[in-house]
């Protein structure tokens, strides 16, 4: 179905699938634009549109037909995008002082890479897995959660604990090296 500027959503006599398809056809571009300007990235905006419309599908039965469909949809979009911004801010605050020692960084000496690898091997399996997925494979928190089947909160908590333990292990290693000198 082709929609023209000014067309409005009419849910009367439509199945849920048809109504959601109509909402998508009418407003997906609007949702994308909001997401693009909010998140600042084309790929993130595309992902956000998908997630927002999944939320529309899940909550469509609760949609009161007397409300304006576009404002209802944009409220879902705003709430989702606000959650994303909060998560990003939390992650930035969480890791702001941490500079990950990438194993593939050529500026690091072989000695540092070996020391890091030994420290990683001392971490609990879950800590090591999350750390490697985030800082060696460069996956996002969402991607790690999908890979491991965990919640984002569990990934962030495990990563935080891994970093703390890794810092402790590396500090101990530095102290031992200093004692030997």
Question: For the residues of 128-150, what is the DSSP string, one character each?
Answer: HHHHIIIIIS---HHHHHHHHT-
Long-range contacts of 113-119 (CB under 8 A, 24+ apart): 115/170, 115/173, 116/170, 118/173, 119/166, 119/169, 119/170, 119/173
Q: Which helix (H) or strand (E) holds 121?
A: helix 110-122
| 17 vs 155: which has the higher pLDDT | 155
Task: Indicate the CATH number for domain 16-89.
Answer: 1.10.1740.10
Position 150 scores a pLDDT of: 92
Residue 85 has pLDDT above 70, yes or no: yes
| 169 vs 46: which has the higher pLDDT | 46
Please, where in the chain does CATH 1.10.1740.10 lie?
16-89
Average model confidence (pLDDT) for the chain? Answer: 79
pLDDT band at 45 (very low <50, low <70, confident <90, very high): very high
Position 28 scores a pLDDT of: 93
pLDDT band at 25 (very low <50, low <70, confident <90, very high): very high
Residue 98 has pLDDT above 60, yes or no: no
Residue 181 has pLDDT above 50, yes or no: no
Three-class secondary structure of residue 22 per DSSP = helix
| 93 vs 71: which has the higher pLDDT | 71
Position 87 scores a pLDDT of: 85
- DSSP labels, 44-96: HHHHHHHHHHHHHHHHGGG--TTS-HHHHHHHHHHHHHHHHHHHHHHHHHHHT
Position 1 scores a pLDDT of: 40
Count of CB atoms within 10 A of residue 21's CB? 14
| 100 vs 87: which has the higher pLDDT | 87
What are 129-156's pLDDT values in tens digits? 898 888 877 888 988 888 888 999 999 9
CA 180 to each of CA 58, 119, 128, 174: distance values in angstroms, whole numbers, following the listed order: 62, 19, 28, 10
Average pLDDT over residues 4-26: 72
23 token code pair: 């909402």
Task: Indicate the CATH number for domain 110-180.
Answer: 1.10.10.10
The rounded distance, in Å, linking the Cα atoms of 174 and 24 is 57
Position 125 scores a pLDDT of: 83
Please, where in the chain does CATH 1.10.10.10 lie?
110-180
Number of helices followed by number of strands (H, E) in the chain: 7, 0
CA 91 to chain CA centroid, Å, is: 9
């Amino acid at each position: 179905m082709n929609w023209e500027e000014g067309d409005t959503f009419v849910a009367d006599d439509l199945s849920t699938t048809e109504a959601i398809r109509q909402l998508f056809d009418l407003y997906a571009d609007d949702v994308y634009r909001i997401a693009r300007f909010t998140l600042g990235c084309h790929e993130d905006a595309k992902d956000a549109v998908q997630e927002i419309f999944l939320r529309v599908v899940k909550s469509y039965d609760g949609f009161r037909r007397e409300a304006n469909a576009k404002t209802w949809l944009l409220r879902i979009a705003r709430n989702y995008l606000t959650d994303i911004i909060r998560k990003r801010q939390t992650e930035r605050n969480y890791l702001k002082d941490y500079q990950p020692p990438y194993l593939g960084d050529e500026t690091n000496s072989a000695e540092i890479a070996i020391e890091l690898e030994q420290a990683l091997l001392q971490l609990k399996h879950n800590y090591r897995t999350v750390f490697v997925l985030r800082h060696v494979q460069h996956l996002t928190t969402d991607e790690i959660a999908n890979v491991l089947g965990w919640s984002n909160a569990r990934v962030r908590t495990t990563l935080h604990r891994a970093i703390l333990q890794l810092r402790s292990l590396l500090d101990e290693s530095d102290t031992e090296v200093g004692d030997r000198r």
